């Protein structure tokens, strides 16, 4: 290519039919206005890639916020969280939001998109950027960037509107034709396509229980007066974080106690407690804390490890790459597991196996287990919400708990922290602390972990009897000093460098917490930091 060729010109030269929205240049995410000035490796990103879809979503949100401010002058837009295949948000305006407002905003979005207006990148002195945000009455951004040490800030504009909700956007709005915006009391849902099928928007699936968890999370943020990073940074800077930690931990304990009370109220009926959730949700610590709360209710639960019921290695299913798929339901001896559960519930003694992972087979070491009527069985595992795992047990005898670390804090009104990224940061720290894995190892394993979650956990989350949010407002301020050095070790030559830079960008907004002394030994966060009083 001639020196100075833009990525957009490169795309045109290749005559590519796919919708390319950005590129990795030497593993750095770049917008299509980037000029190629030296020899480099370029990977074009369309909507079948995770980073390409992130750019598309961020660009849609950018246009949504501009459109909302034009339709409802002086309104304040809050992008809250993911829900089904979309993003849920709310709008503060002079009057409560109604369906007609959302339709007008959707029409204005489409007008902007059909006009194919450019999205322009600016690198501005910090004071100039803050002044622009002040004029736009974006006080959350004024507060945040006033705390930042950066002398320059990357800002993008579309029309007269300026924002910082991502580093990379599509070059112009005409790329964003595929979206839906609909009223969802009291806010809206912005729907977009999925990586698996970027040519259409999937049918919306209602996740009522998960939506209620998000609602409770939002209420909790108002209780502690922390909804964004700037507010958390103020708490850390003023040395008030000890109180915040104690309040967050007490809230967790209260929620766990409520779950234990529900189980205890139906102690005669509920004999099995199934705990499931995605990676790095804190399932092990949660199970131990629930066990304690059940004992307070005069119950004496026992724990059965699902891993001990793996089939022998030669019977383990393989995935499409020919590797053992230990996350497949068929990797568990379901028949034996159900037989043992049925016998235990009826008071019969059972010889529980122990799985020898080195030899790849079950062993029988005379582990005899027999339980009484006041001893519920706790089972923690990836398939806990899938009734096929416990097919022999009537639904009325089971209590299912879904646990996930659902992010409670946003960077600002418009820039959310994806729950997946927060969990990945947790896992990077834990894997380094206790499993001798580098951040590079963890990032490369993450797509396989996510694939297992999408297949075995998320489709069943609405079947849970209760959902528990294990995230805490303060945690990224603590994890920052552990994760940042590990992420900075990843060399630019690695494809994982782009992921590392995205996570570092999130962490850069947080003021590090000076001390961890106030974090109790039974905290879920201790599962990742160390110092837990449980065997995790």
Please report the pLDDT score of residue 54 as a whole number. 96
Please report the pLDDT score of residue 271 as a whole number. 94
User: Are 385 and 480 members of one domain?
Assistant: yes
184: domain CATH number is 3.30.980.10
Residue 42 lies in a domain: yes
Residue 536 lies in a domain: no
User: Are 295 and 371 members of one domain?
Assistant: no
d(CA 68, CA 64): 6
Mean pLDDT to the nearest integer, 390-412: 93
Residue 173 lies in a domain: yes
Mean pLDDT to the nearest integer, 493-502: 96
DSSP state of 534: S
Per-residue pLDDT band for 7 (boundaries 50, 70, 90) equals very high
195-249 pLDDT, tens per residue?
999 999 999 888 888 888 888 887 887 788 898 999 999 999 999 999 999 999 9
| pLDDT at residue 17 greater than cutoff 80 | no
Last residue of a domain, one of 360, 375, 390: 375
Per-residue pLDDT band for 18 (boundaries 50, 70, 90) equals confident
**Residues whose CB falls within 8 Å of the CB of residue 150, separated by 6 or more in sequence, listed in order:** 126
User: Are 295 and 355 members of one domain?
Assistant: no
User: Are 145 and 238 members of one domain?
Assistant: no
User: Are 28 and 159 members of one domain?
Assistant: yes
Number of domains observed in the structure of the chain? 3
236-286 pLDDT, tens per residue?
999 999 999 999 999 999 999 999 999 999 999 999 999 999 999 999 999
Residue 5's DSSP bridge partners are 36
Residue 535 lies in a domain: no
User: Are 317 and 441 members of one domain?
Assistant: no
Please report the pLDDT score of residue 536 as a whole number. 79
| pLDDT at residue 441 greater than cutoff 90 | yes
Residue 229 lies in a domain: yes
Cβ burial, residue 257 (10 Å; 0-12/13-18/19+) = middle
User: Are 522 and 387 members of one domain?
Assistant: yes
Please report the pLDDT score of residue 86 as a whole number. 93
pTM above 0.75, yes or no: yes
Last residue of a domain, one of 162, 182, 206: 206
| pLDDT at residue 484 greater than cutoff 90 | yes
Weakest-pLDDT range from 153-162, 323-332, 414-423: 323-332
Hunting for tokens 């956007």 — which residue is that?
169
Do 404 and 278 meet the contact criterion of CB atoms below 8 Å apart? yes
Residue 191 lies in a domain: yes
Q: Which residues of 14-35 are buried (b: 16+ CB within 10 A; e: fewer)?
A: eeeeebbbbbbbebebbbbbbe
Do 80 and 88 meet the contact criterion of CB atoms below 8 Å apart? yes
Residue 534 lies in a domain: no
173-203 pLDDT, tens per residue?
999 999 999 999 999 999 999 999 999 999 9
Please compute Rg for the chain using Cα positions: 25
pLDDT over 70 percentage in the chain: 100
User: Are 259 and 122 members of one domain?
Assistant: no
Residue 75 lies in a domain: yes
User: Are 15 and 42 members of one domain?
Assistant: yes
User: Are 499 and 366 members of one domain?
Assistant: no
User: Are 425 and 323 members of one domain?
Assistant: no
d(CA 245, CA 496): 33
Mean pLDDT to the nearest integer, 376-383: 92
Q: Which residues form the domain of 294?
A: 214-300+378-529
d(CA 528, CA 536): 9
CA-nearest of 80, 82, 79 to 63 is 79
Last residue of a domain, one of 375, 400, 426: 375
pLDDT over 90 percentage in the chain: 86
User: Are 351 and 400 members of one domain?
Assistant: no
């Amino acid at each position: 290519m001639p020196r100075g060729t833009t990525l957009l010109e490169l795309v045109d030269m290749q005559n590519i039919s796919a919708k390319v929205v950005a590129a990795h240049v030497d593993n750095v995410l770049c917008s299509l206005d980037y000029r190629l000035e030296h020899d480099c490796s370029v990977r074009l990103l369309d909507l079948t890639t995770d980073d390409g879809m992130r750019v598309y979503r961020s660009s849609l949100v950018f246009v949504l916020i501009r459109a909302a401010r034009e339709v409802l002058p002086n309104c304040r837009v809050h992008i809250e969280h993911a829900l089904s295949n979309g993003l849920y948000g709310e709008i503060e305006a002079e009057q409560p939001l109604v369906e007609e407002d959302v339709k007008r905003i959707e029409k204005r979005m489409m007008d902007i998109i059909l006009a194919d207006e450019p999205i322009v990148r600016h690198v501005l002195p910090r004071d100039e950027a803050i002044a622009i945000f002040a004029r736009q009455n974006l006080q959350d951004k004024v507060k945040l960037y006033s705390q930042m040490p950066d002398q320059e800030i990357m800002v993008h504009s579309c029309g007269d509107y300026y924002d910082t909700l991502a580093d990379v956007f599509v070059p112009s709005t005409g790329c964003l034709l595929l979206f839906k915006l609909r009223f969802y009391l009291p806010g809206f849902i912005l729907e977009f396509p999925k990586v698996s099928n970027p040519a259409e928007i999937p049918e919306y699936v209602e996740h009522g229980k998960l939506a209620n968890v998000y609602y409770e999370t939002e209420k909790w943020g108002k209780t502690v007066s922390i909804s964004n990073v700037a507010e958390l940074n103020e708490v850390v800077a003023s040395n008030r974080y000890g109180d915040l930690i104690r309040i967050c931990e007490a809230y967790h304990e209260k929620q766990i106690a409520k779950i234990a009370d529900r189980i205890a109220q139906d102690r005669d009926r509920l004999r099995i407690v199934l705990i499931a959730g995605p990676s790095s949700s804190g399932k092990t610590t949660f199970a131990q804390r629930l066990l304690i709360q059940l004992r307070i209710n005069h119950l004496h639960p026992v724990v059965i490890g699902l891993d001990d019921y793996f089939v022998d290695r030669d019977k383990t299913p393989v995935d499409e790459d020919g590797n053992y798929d230990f996350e497949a339901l068929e990797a568990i001896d379901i028949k034996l597991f159900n037989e043992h559960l049925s016998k235990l519930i009826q008071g019969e003694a059972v010889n529980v196996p122990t799985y020898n992972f080195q030899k790849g087979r079950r062993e029988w070491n005379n582990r005899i287990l027999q339980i009484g009527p006041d001893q519920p069985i706790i089972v923690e595992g990836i398939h806990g919400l899938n009734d096929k795992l416990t097919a022999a047990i009537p639904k009325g005898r089971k209590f299912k708990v879904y646990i996930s670390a659902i992010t409670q804090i946003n960077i600002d009104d418009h820039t959310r922290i994806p729950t997946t990224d927060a969990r990945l940061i947790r896992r990077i720290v834990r894997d380094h602390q206790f499993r001798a894995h580098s951040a590079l190892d963890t990032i490369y394993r993450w797509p396989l972990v996510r694939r297992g979650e999408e297949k075995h956990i998320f489709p069943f989350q609405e079947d849970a009897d209760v959902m528990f949010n294990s995230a805490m407002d303060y945690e990224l301020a603590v994890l920052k000093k552990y994760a940042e050095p590990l992420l900075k070790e990843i060399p630019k030559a690695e494809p994982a460098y782009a992921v590392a830079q995205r996570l570092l960008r999130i962490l850069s907004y947080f003021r590090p917490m000076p001390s961890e002394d106030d974090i109790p030994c039974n905290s879920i966060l201790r599962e990742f930091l160390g110092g837990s009083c449980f065997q995790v």
